[in-house]
Amino acid sequence: MVAVRVNPLPLLAGLVLLTACSGGGGTPAATPAVTPVTTSSPAVVSSSSVASLPPVPSTSSSWAKPAVTGKVVVLDPGHNGGNASHPKDINRSVPAGRGEMKPCNTTGTATNAGYSEHAFNFAVAQEVGNALAAKGIKVVYTRTNDTGVGPCVDRRAEIGNDAGADAVVSIHADGSTSAGAHGFHVAYSSPPLNAAQGAPSTRLAHALRDGLRADGFTTSTYIGSAGLSARSDLGGLNLSTRPTVLVECGNMRNSAEATLMSSAAGRTKYAAAIAEAIEAYLA
């Protein structure tokens, strides 16, 4: 979603701002066996852990079994748990594509009760990754914990490019305060800057939209059209050379969607729909 965010760390300087998740009346703000990502930049700064999330691997070994299908999926859980305490790091400018510069990252949004978007994104991404890995798909994450800073949006895009991903899916939640705003939407780069951002990315966007809708999720009432949103301002999408989309799972400021996102059962429901949609795209 487009939300209040702060840009990520000086360490993982490189990721692209895929989408924004944070309150803002309907207008997105500048805004993810697994193979953990390594960079030449400083290690991620850690903060207090999020008890409600599944345990995160403490080694550099993969989380799920090796790929047997030859397919690679990069999952990008938006924001990070340590971003808010490192404003200087996440607010520094990085390339965002189309000749633009944007903050490294942001803090993301939260429900009115205080459940953070970064925790939701990370928990859902883990469940999606586990489901895909169980099918023999190699899964790579742009971040492997929810206590660090960043990575920056340009670095996030670079991770997908370097992995030669068959699909890159950035997972977010929005924070619009517009009256009645609710529903999910899937953003993709438009106009495309390369071949991967053309038909492959739009096909991935349709697969995610159709999969979420088939599982009972409602398309956005305030952004895009029929659950799809063409965007030219998201760094993670602009800098990608692989089929890439950003999924705003819903609006955390909407009471019904906030309740769903805050529950383990709700997160599992989102993850199952996203994983099935990715599998359908890869097929």
Q: What is the DSSP letter of 225?
A: B
Instruction: State CA 113 to chain mean position distance.
Output: 22
Separation CA 110–CA 107 (nearest Å): 9
CA 199 vs CA 137, 202, 223: distances in Å: 22, 5, 22
Closest CA to 74 of 165, 12, 145: 165
Do 159 and 92 meet the contact criterion of CB atoms below 8 Å apart?
no
Return the bridge partners of 188, or none: 230
Catalytic (active-site) positions: 248
Question: DSSP 3-state assignment of 117?
Answer: helix
Separation CA 277–CA 173 (nearest Å): 18
Q: What is the DSSP letter of 111?
A: -
Tell me: cis bond preceding 191? Omega within 30 of 0 counts: yes
Instruction: State CA 73 to chain mean position distance.
Output: 13
